[in-house]
């Protein structure tokens, strides 16, 4: 399996429902595994009810699939090595040496192994942190009964209190969780916390990123649980009196199994409620995947949150896969395929200009922009274009492979499993779809997980053709040769730069796993990808698609990062509003705020303002006047606020722009919006119409095709037809 490069790692690196639980934490549910054992050999009871007591191991939901291999990460926190739960060689090898250094798991001497941890449980503990008057980050407080002389104070809710932060740390549902709150006067019994500084409100901090499961945590997600200021935004939230909870099981860099993660969120909240008390309100916060979780859990677990503050937003993850999956197909066409099929022997000069590529890809592109994938020329490695780049590359490169290729995996957690559990690791497929194959199902002919990606009938560059930005011949050549992705069972290990070894062949586009590679003869047609209808329907039915239903108030904060070609583009906030309007015609409980950039201080100020408005909204049962759409300068200064500041984007009067609908906050599209899909972006598989119908019903807005061009259009789309996005998603189950 491919090991990725540091550049790719940077890009990949964002009321309780009763659940049946298991007492045992072992890999096998036999009598020998009814008790978990800590490193010293003492029996530690696995909790069968909430709250999980100090010294106990948190429960595992009965329907948790308990994947193996499963990479334990407790040793990366104060919990230390996980508790032994079996002697059968299942899971993480626990030693008496305190655990190996990251990346050095292969150095474990079998003679040092005391047992194995299949479920990565660890006894719940409490530790304390304090702020020094000398500044700097929070520091461990070894003896809370005798704090140091340099202990700082903090003003909370009108009182000045000692700046001591309590952290409860443990495992629930196989994942690491933490509960943070300022506790000014810890008593001698950590089971009886001082709640005097708590404002009786809870913030659930959800994490982002892209993970493919089989791990307790992955990459930066440990920073949500290992210490109170591991995520900088926790600090102002704690200083305002809120309690904060997080779990590695609610960070999407661990997994995008939002069924499992949502279940974990309800369990972690229940631990808080039973141990500390019912909060007046629970507010969600989190960026990227942390924003997606809030929307999906509000849809699937409506009692979890009372208000949402999603940041750097998407409607969901699953419907991003189509447009993101298009990116590398298009870049490969521009960089390699076009020169092979256009009859000149060299790339069309049009495609050496990044702004012309943007006409097809929709996403922002900037001539002369710096690229993380620079090959030394100022252009991304393998590119035929001039210096510059696009969001397709800077934001999304490598993620199609991560989601679809079962031979591609990244991160120290997976390297640990490779070294400690080589046999089971070698027989495990890692991808987004494999992680959720219990939802998507498997292809009975191959045993591989079904995929949702589909580009049958998609007319890439349609809007550019209608605008006169590309010719009919360029449109036909692109659509004939862009191709699609191979099926997972046909996919190979990734090449360079993902492998780190140039000998594996330069292939930043993952073209070895695409169909165009084998169809670069002029006059040929590269096959498109037919997604699995069963998988698409399952995504709808299992709540992985955000359908637009939100009952609680939501203040969405969009960090405007388009000039940085960041993956968190600003179109998504309007996609969310459009889905809400499509759901029931009402988006009045959604507020859209855009901050120019993502500086910590103004973002923290907006978060606290949002929490205050959500509290007022819940208290009064009506929307506060200040809870209105707005946009802000990079320093946090307000530019405009009101119900019409985004007019011109979603309204039918594009010339009547609101105060925020300006070039400062320009919105871009996607390959699918350029191809005709609506802003809602939730079509897995388009309905199609015959080419002859499209030629006469206005699809091409009067563009003239010669007889030969019509024949070629039929060769490309005659069998399948072309997308008719006005009919919605062909895979959407009735009633949803």
Does residue 355 or residue 112 have the better pLDDT? Answer: 355
- Cis omega (within 30 of 0) on the bond before 51? yes
pLDDT-derived band at 96, boundaries 50, 70, 90: confident
Residue 660 lies in a domain: yes
Task: State which of 667, 685, 700 marks the end of a domain.
Answer: 667
- What is the model's pLDDT at position 21? 33
Q: How far is CA 8 from the centre of its chain?
A: 15
Indicate whether 624 pLDDT > 50.
yes
Residue 24 lies in a domain: yes
Indicate whether 20 pLDDT > 50.
no
Indicate whether 39 pLDDT > 80.
no
- What is the model's pLDDT at position 197? 98
Q: What is the number of structural domains in the chain?
A: 2
Residue 402 lies in a domain: no
**Would you mind telling me the total number of residues written for the chain in this entry?**
736
- What is the model's pLDDT at position 100? 58
| From 97-106, 220-229, 260-269, the region with the lowest mean pLDDT | 97-106
Taking residues 722-734, what's their average pLDDT? 98
Say what percent of the chain tops pLDDT 90.
86
Indicate whether 574 pLDDT > 50.
yes
- What is the model's pLDDT at position 411? 72
Distances (CA, A) of 297 to 450, 576, 733: 24, 15, 20
Indicate whether 683 pLDDT > 50.
yes
pLDDT-derived band at 101, boundaries 50, 70, 90: low
DSSP H/E element including 340: helix 338-341
pTM: 0.93
Indicate whether 46 pLDDT > 60.
no
Residue 703 lies in a domain: no
Task: Give backbone dihedrals phi and psi of 508, rounded to 5 degrees, phi first.
Answer: -70, -15
Separation of alpha carbons 660 and 314, rounded Å: 20
- Cis omega (within 30 of 0) on the bond before 707? no
| From 111-115, 334-338, 365-369, the region with the lowest mean pLDDT | 111-115
Indicate whether 38 pLDDT > 90.
no
What is the overall mean pLDDT for the chain?
92
- What is the model's pLDDT at position 424? 92
Taking residues 455-482, what's their average pLDDT? 99
- What is the model's pLDDT at position 546? 98
- What is the model's pLDDT at position 104? 64
- What is the model's pLDDT at position 28? 35
Taking residues 179-197, what's their average pLDDT? 97
Q: How far is CA 480 from the centre of its chain?
A: 32
| From 37-41, 490-494, 541-545, 561-565, the region with the lowest mean pLDDT | 37-41
Which tens digits make up the pLDDT trace of 381-414?
A: 999 999 999 999 999 999 999 999 999 987 777 8
Say what percent of the chain tops pLDDT 70.
91
Residue 393 lies in a domain: no
pLDDT-derived band at 99, boundaries 50, 70, 90: low
Which tens digits make up the pLDDT trace of 584-604?
A: 999 999 999 999 999 999 999
- What is the model's pLDDT at position 41? 33
Q: Which two tokens stand for residue 191?
A: 């089971």
- What is the model's pLDDT at position 415? 83
- What is the model's pLDDT at position 4? 41
- What is the model's pLDDT at position 462? 99
Domain with 57, as residue range(s), is: 6-314
Q: Quick one: three-class SS letters along 446-460? A: CCCECCCCCCCCCCC
In 68-146 the beta strands, taken as DSSP E runs, fall at: 92-95, 113-117, 125-130, 139-141
- What is the model's pLDDT at position 438? 97
Separation of alpha carbons 415 and 68, rounded Å: 14
- What is the model's pLDDT at position 614? 99
Indicate whether 342 pLDDT > 50.
yes
Taking residues 196-224, what's their average pLDDT? 96
- What is the model's pLDDT at position 654? 58
Task: State which of 255, 290, 314 marks the end of a domain.
Answer: 314
- What is the model's pLDDT at position 10? 37
- What is the model's pLDDT at position 103? 54
- What is the model's pLDDT at position 97? 67
If you write DSSP's letter for every residue of 670-720 in order, what string do you get?
Answer: -HHHHTT--TT---SSB-EE-HHHHHHTTTTTT----HHHHHHHHHHHTTT
Which tens digits make up the pLDDT trace of 278-324?
A: 999 999 999 999 999 999 999 999 999 999 999 999 999 999 999 99
pLDDT-derived band at 107, boundaries 50, 70, 90: low
Task: State which of 649, 667, 685 marks the end of a domain.
Answer: 667
DSSP H/E element including 155: strand 153-156
Taking residues 599-621, what's their average pLDDT? 98
Indicate whether 417 pLDDT > 80.
yes
Indicate whether 26 pLDDT > 90.
no
Residue 458 lies in a domain: no
Residue 623 lies in a domain: yes
If you write DSSP's letter for every residue of 570-607 in order, what string do you get?
Answer: TTHHHHHHHHHHHHHS--TTEEEEEEES--HHHHHHHH
pLDDT-derived band at 111, boundaries 50, 70, 90: confident
Q: Which position has the token pair 């292939």?
A: 507
Residue 641 lies in a domain: yes
- What is the model's pLDDT at position 413? 78
Indicate whether 35 pLDDT > 60.
no
């Amino acid at each position: 399996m491919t090991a990725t490069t540091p550049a790719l790692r940077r890009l990949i690196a964002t009321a309780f429902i009763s659940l049946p639980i298991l007492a045992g934490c072992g890999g096998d549910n036999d009598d020998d595994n009814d008790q978990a054992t800590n490193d010293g050999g003492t029996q530690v009871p696995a909790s069968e009810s909430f709250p999980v007591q100090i010294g106990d191991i948190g429960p595992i939901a009965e329907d948790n699939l308990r994947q193996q291999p499963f990479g334990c990460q407790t040793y990366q926190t104060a919990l230390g090595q996980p508790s032994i739960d079996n002697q059968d060689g299942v899971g993480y090898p626990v030693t008496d040496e305190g655990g190996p250094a990251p990346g050095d798991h292969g150095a474990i001497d079998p003679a040092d192994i005391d047992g194995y941890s299949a479920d990565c449980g660890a006894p719940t503990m409490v530790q304390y942190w304090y702020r020094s008057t000398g500044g700097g980050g929070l520091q461990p407080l070894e003896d809370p009964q005798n704090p140091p002389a340099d202990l700082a104070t903090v003003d909370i809710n009108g009182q000045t209190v000692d700046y001591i932060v309590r952290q409860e740390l443990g495992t629930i549902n196989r994942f690491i969780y933490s509960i943070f709150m300022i506790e000014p006067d810890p008593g001698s019994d950590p089971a009886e916390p001082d709640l005097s500084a708590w404002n009786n409100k809870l913030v659930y901090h959800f994490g982002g990123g892209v993970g493919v499961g089989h791990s307790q945590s992955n990459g930066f997600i440990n920073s949500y649980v290992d210490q109170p200021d591991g995520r900088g935004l926790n600090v102002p939230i704690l200083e305002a009196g809120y309690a904060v909870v997080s779990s590695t099981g609610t960070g999407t860099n661990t997994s995008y199994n939002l069924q499992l993660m949502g279940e974990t969120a309800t369990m972690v909240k229940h631990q808080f409620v039973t141990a500390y008390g019912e909060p007046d309100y629970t507010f969600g916060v989190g960026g990227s995947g942390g924003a997606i979780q809030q929307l999906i859990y509000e849809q699937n677990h409506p009692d979890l949150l009372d208000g949402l503050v999603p940041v750097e937003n998407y409607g969901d993850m699953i419907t991003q896969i189509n447009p993101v999956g298009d990116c590398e197909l298009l870049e490969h066409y521009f960089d390699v395929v076009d020169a092979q099929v256009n009859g000149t022997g060299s790339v069309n000069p049009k495609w050496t200009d990044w702004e012309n590529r943007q006409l097809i890809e929709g996403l922002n592109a900037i001539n002369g922009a710096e690229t993380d994938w620079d090959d030394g020329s100022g252009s991304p490695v393998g590119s035929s274009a001039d210096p510059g780049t696009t969001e397709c590359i800077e934001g999304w490169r490598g993620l199609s492979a991560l989601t679809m290729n079962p031979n591609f995996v990244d991160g120290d957690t997976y390297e640990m499993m490779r070294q400690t559990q080589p046999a089971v690791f070698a027989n495990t497929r890692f991808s987004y779809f494999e992680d959720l194959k219990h939802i998507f199902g498997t292809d009975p002919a191959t045993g591989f997980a079904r995929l949702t990606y589909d580009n049958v009938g998609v007319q890439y560059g349609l809007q550019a053709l209608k605008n006169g930005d590309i010719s009919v011949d360029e449109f036909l050549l692109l659509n004939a040769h862009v191709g699609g992705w191979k099926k997972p069972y046909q996919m190979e290990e990734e090449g360079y730069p993902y492998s780190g070894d140039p000998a594996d062949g330069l292939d930043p586009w993952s073209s070895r796993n695409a169909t165009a590679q084998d169809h670069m003869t002029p006059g040929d047609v590269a096959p498109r990808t037919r997604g699995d209808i069963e998988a698409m329907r399952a995504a709808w039915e299992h709540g992985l698609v955000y359908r637009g239903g939100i009952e609680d108030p939501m203040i969405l904060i969009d960090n405007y990062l388009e000039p940085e070609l960041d993956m968190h583009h600003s179109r998504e906030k309007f996609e969310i509003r459009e889905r809400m309007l499509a759901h029931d015609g009402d988006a009045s409980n959604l507020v859209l705020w855009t901050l120019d950039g993502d500086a910590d201080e103004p973002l923290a100020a907006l978060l606290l303002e949002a929490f205050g408005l959500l509290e007022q909204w819940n208290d009064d049962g009506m929307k506060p006047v200040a809870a209105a759409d707005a946009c802000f300068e990079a320093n946090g200064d307000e530019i405009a606020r009101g119900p019409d500041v985004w007019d011109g984007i979603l309204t039918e009067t594009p010339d009547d722009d609101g105060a925020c609908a300006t070039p400062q906050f320009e919105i871009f599209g996607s390959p699918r919006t350029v191809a005709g899909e609506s802003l809602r972006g939730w079509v897995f598989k388009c309905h199609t119409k015959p080419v002859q119908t499209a030629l006469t019903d206005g699809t091409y807005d009067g563009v003239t095709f010669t007889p030969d061009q019509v024949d070629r259009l039929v060769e490309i789309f005659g069998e399948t037809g072309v997308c008719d996005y006005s009919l919605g998603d062909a895979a959407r189950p009735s009633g949803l």
